[in-house]
Amino acid sequence: MKQEVVITSGNLNQAPMGAFLSDNNVLLHVFEGSHTYENLKVDKFYILNICSPYLVAKAVLDDDFDSEFLNLDGKKIPYLKDAYKILLIEVTGRKFVEYKNIYGKSKLMVVNGINISESVLNDDYSPYSRAEGALVEMAVIYSRLGILNGTKKQEAYLNMKIFMEIVKKVGSTKHLELGRRFLTAKL
């Protein structure tokens, strides 16, 4: 099953993405053009952060996050201080493919990895919030706005506004602030 997580790698880079988790195996699809793509082309390890949907959504907008570092043989690997749990993943393989969908053609790196250790940082899980789910959907749409044009871009923006109505209805001040950032941010 695909889980929404935040990947941290390189020098203070965070990226929300779907990760396919099965036993100790992890599979990522990383699109060219991101810092994470460049990092995982060469890095042997990264951190998979299991965290709140709010942190997944927030990771789309900036690399400014409360971090700490895991020291692995002298190499520091960042992780989210507020994650529920972190997994140290060793990259076991990479495959480069061309991917085509409704947004056009893209270069994609399929990254295989294995979980070599994990740590629970915070076992105070909060209940599911519809506002956080809506923010994750806004984040996914926002991350694709840069490759859309014309009518498709307008439709995507309208969909973000629909999700913002959910945030307004059931979210807190921090949820409203993040939702407004998605609606007003420049790509």
Residues with Cβ within 8 Å of residue 116, at least 6 apart in sequence: 88, 89, 90
75 and 52 in a common domain: yes
Rounded to 5, what percent of the chain is helix, strand, coil? 35, 40, 20
> Above pLDDT 70, what percent of the chain?
99
**Chain segment 96-148, per-residue pLDDT in tens:** 999 888 777 889 999 999 999 999 999 887 777 899 999 999 999 999 898 88
Could you tell me if residue 137 is inside a domain?
A: yes
Could you tell me if residue 125 is inside a domain?
A: no
- What's the confidence (pLDDT) of residue 165? 97
- pTM listed for this prediction: 0.86
Total count of domains within the chain: 2
Degrees, nearest 5: CA angle 96-98-100? 145
- What's the confidence (pLDDT) of residue 108? 93
Tell me the CATH number at 116.
Answer: 2.30.110.10
What domain range includes position 111? Answer: 2-120
CA dihedral 38, 96, 7, 19 (to 10 degrees): 170
DSSP 8-state assignment for residue 157: H
Domain end point (choices 86, 120, 154): 120
58 and 9 in a common domain: yes
Q: pLDDT class for 187, splitting at 50, 70, 90?
A: low
78 and 57 in a common domain: yes
**Chain segment 44-102, per-residue pLDDT in tens:** 999 999 999 999 999 998 878 889 999 999 999 999 999 999 999 999 999 999 988 87
Degrees, nearest 5: CA angle 177-138-98? 140
